[in-house]
Amino acid sequence: MTGHTLVVRLDSMGDVLISGPAVRAVAAGSSRVTLLTGPLGAAAARLLPGVDEVLVWACPWILNPAPPVTPADIAGLTALIAGLGLDRALILTSFHQSALPTALLLRLAGVPAIFACSSDYPGSLLDQRIPDPGDGPEPVRMLEIARAAGFELAPFDDGRLAVAGPLPTVELGLPARFLVVHPGVTAPARAYPDERWAETVTALTRAGWPVAITGSTSERELTARLAAAASGATALDLAGALDLPALAAVLRCAAAVVVANTGPAHLAAAVGTPVVSLFSPVVPASRWAPYGVAVSVLGDQQAACRETRSVVCPVAGHSCLNSVSSQEIVRTVQALAGSPLPAEEMSA
């Protein structure tokens, strides 16, 4: 199979990153790959190996809050796709999303062959209706959808998450062994409580770990409080200072990252860094925990909020994550990453 293939993944950074193995399978069987994604996933899409071009569109049936559906927007997108000279398209969606509205637009744009997973009757919208591959890690599910459409990974590809190099060099002024703490989330139901984060940064620095605290510009108030909690120890506040390639570079150099269920957890997995995952069970960890690296999932996975897909915690007290202590996190970091001292200092 050769020719120009469009891959569609319209949601967020983490969703795009976990689709990486499927995208590489498409690239192994295509002469050219264009990835259509949303504004939240665009930076991650540009980091994926195998992608030749990234197109960005704010999808009204994926984003929350959703933009309006307008004839001009739809006409502009279909005209853009029609001009790509595509041979086929693969639509990648999570289990709770429908591929059919996107398939309708691609059909209107004249895409000759469209593949997607759909539990609903697609009529003439799909050339191949792929059965749901069932439960399992989301990167594996996406890869199975690509395989069902006729795409296989190259023989040397291990199917893990990955980013394309080279990544930039980021001078942090930190010791060789340090941790990344990423406290921010997009959904409050997935957040580790702020006061617990402060306790954790204090405990990690007291255990000898230098800490880089990452986040967006909007999270600077939180990250500044956490850096102050280090009480004179090494804690570097990097909120708003890193674009996505630079964040990937920092994560790659870290001994481990402590993070909730959010996009940078998957970015850490893509650069091969162990993850302490503070995971709220509003979605199943079996599907959405970081994939392909050493990972320890902390949090009550049987809590009452389990698999509710809630954006705001539906249970008073947020017990699923509030029950995780800073000392448990320190012990987990030590189990995953060992000592904060370099090996030569440990043996001296």
Distance (Å, whole) CA 150 – CA 317: 47
What are the tens digits of pLDDT across the range 75-90?
999 999 999 999 999 9
Does 23 or 305 have the greater pLDDT score? 23
Distance (Å, whole) CA 180 – CA 214: 7
CA–CA distance from 1 to each of 88, 89, 145 (Å)? 10, 13, 16
What are the tens digits of pLDDT across the range 108-136?
999 999 999 998 999 999 999 999 888 89
Distance (Å, whole) CA 135 – CA 292: 17
pTM over 0.85: yes
What confidence category does residue 232 fall into, taking pLDDT thresholds of 50, 70 and 90? low
What are the tens digits of pLDDT across the range 159-175?
999 999 899 999 998 88
Q: Return the structure tokens found at 123.
A: 């009529």
Question: What is the rounded average pLDDT of the residues 175-193?
Answer: 92
Q: How confident is the model at residue 348, as a pLDDT? A: 46
Q: For the chain, what is the mean pLDDT?
A: 93
Q: How many CB atoms lie within 10 A of CB 135?
A: 11
* pLDDT above 70 for 343: no
Percent residues over pLDDT 70 in the chain:
97
Q: Do domains 4-148 and 179-346 have the same CATH topology?
A: yes
What are the tens digits of pLDDT across the range 239-289?
999 999 999 999 999 999 999 999 999 999 999 999 999 999 899 999 999
Give the class (CATH, top level) of 4-148: alpha beta
Report the length, in residues, of the chain: 348
The structural domains of the chain, with segments of one domain joined by +, span 4-148, 179-346
What are the tens digits of pLDDT across the range 40-56?
999 999 999 999 999 99
CB 11, CB 94: distance < 8 Å: yes
Q: How confident is the model at residue 66, as a pLDDT? A: 92
Nearest to 305 by CA among 316, 294, 291: 316
Strand partners, 211: 179, 235
* pLDDT above 60 for 346: no
* pLDDT above 60 for 344: no
What confidence category does residue 347 fall into, taking pLDDT thresholds of 50, 70 and 90? very low
Q: How confident is the model at residue 52, as a pLDDT? A: 98
Distance (Å, whole) CA 185 – CA 5: 33
What is the homologous superfamily of the domain 179-346 according to CATH? Answer: Glycogen Phosphorylase B; (3.40.50.2000)
Query: CB burial class (10 A; 0-12, 13-18, 19+) of residue 234?
Result: middle
If DSSP states are collapsed to H, E and C, what string results for the chain? CCCEEEEEECCCHHHHHHCHHHHHHHHHCCCEEEEEECCCCHHHHCCCCCCCEEEECCCCCCCCCCCCCCHHHHHHHHHHHHCCCCCEEEECCCCCCCCHHHHHHHHHCCCCCEEEECCCCCCCCCCEEECCCCCCCHHHHHHHHHHHCCCCCCCCCCCCCCCCCCCCCCCCCCCCCCEEEECCCCCHHHCCCHHHHHHHHHHHHHCCCCEEECCCHHHHHHHHHHHHCCCCCCEEECCCCCCHHHHHHHHHHCCEEEEECCHHHHHHHHCCCCEEEECCCCCCHHHHCCCCCCEEEECCCCCCCCCCCCCCCCCCCCHHHHCCCHHHHHHHHHHHHCCCCCHHHHCC
* pLDDT above 80 for 189: yes
